[in-house]
Each structure stands twice: as C-alpha cells, then as structure tokens.
C-alpha cells in the first residue's frame, strides 16, 4: 500500500544540475524523516542528505554546499537539488522514509532508485 516514487535522474554534464523528487503515498500516518541515499557500483550505500518532518537536515561531507534537500509536507514529497555535479556523484539514488502507519507500526521504506550519471 505504501509507495515511494522517485524521479529526476538523468545524464548530465559535469558542473550541471539536477533535481530529484520522491513522493510518498499509501497508508502513511506520520513521516518522521526522509532522505536520499546513493550507491555507486562496488561501493556501499551512503547517506547523501536527510531531513526530518520538522526541517532539520544533515548532509554528507562530499555534497555539503552543493546539494540541498527540502520537503513539501503537504505532498509527502522530498526534493534533492543537486548543483555543481561531479562524475563521482554518479550513482543510483534511493529515497528513504521513516514512518508509522495508522496502527502505529514503525517502518523504514525504500524506493526503487533513480540513476544519476554525470559524464562528458
């Protein structure tokens, strides 16, 4: 019943920009936090940026100053604005949500991922 739909991944030139979106829908009562993770081939999945429902944010050191995470609570949607993209940003980007359903159970849910490729 719960779905995270990611969009915005694309092929982009170094120095370019992309905006990723993740919309959550389904039997969600309350979202505590949402975030973006990424995984490059042969590497562990890492946190890129996270945001709580109250607006607190956290960024990986490698993207701080270049990426901005934001959210629209009314739409249950988070965004990742990515500027000054580098080839090392190439990865599959996954949306994550920590939420409770209407019965009070806590979940940690993942989207299917969207490919970001930074290349000349």
Tens digits of per-residue pLDDT, 48-84? 999 998 899 999 999 999 999 999 988 889 999 999 9
pLDDT, position 27: 86
Percent of the chain surpassing pLDDT 90: 84
pLDDT, position 28: 87
Cα 42 to Cα 22, 101, 117: the distances in Å are: 25, 34, 16
Tokens describing residue 114: 């969207």
Tokens describing residue 105: 């159970």
pLDDT, position 14: 98
Of 106 and 2, the one with more pLDDT: 106
Q: Which of 67, 70, 90, 88 has the alpha carbon at shortest distance from 78? A: 70
């Amino acid at each position: 019943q719960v779905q995270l739909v990611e969009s915005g991944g694309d092929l982009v030139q170094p120095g370019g920009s992309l905006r990723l979106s993740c919309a959550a829908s389904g039997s969600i009562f309350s979202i505590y936090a949402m975030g973006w993770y990424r995984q490059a081939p042969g590497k562990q999945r890492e946190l890129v940026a996270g945001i709580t429902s109250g607006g607190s944010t956290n960024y990986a050191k490698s993207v701080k100053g270049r990426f901005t995470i934001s959210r629209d609570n009314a739409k249950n949607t988070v965004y990742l604005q990515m500027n000054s993209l580098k080839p090392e940003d190439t990865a599959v980007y996954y949306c994550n949500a920590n939420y409770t359903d209407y019965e009070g159970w806590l979940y940690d849910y993942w989207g299917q991922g969207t490919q970001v490729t930074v290349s000349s």
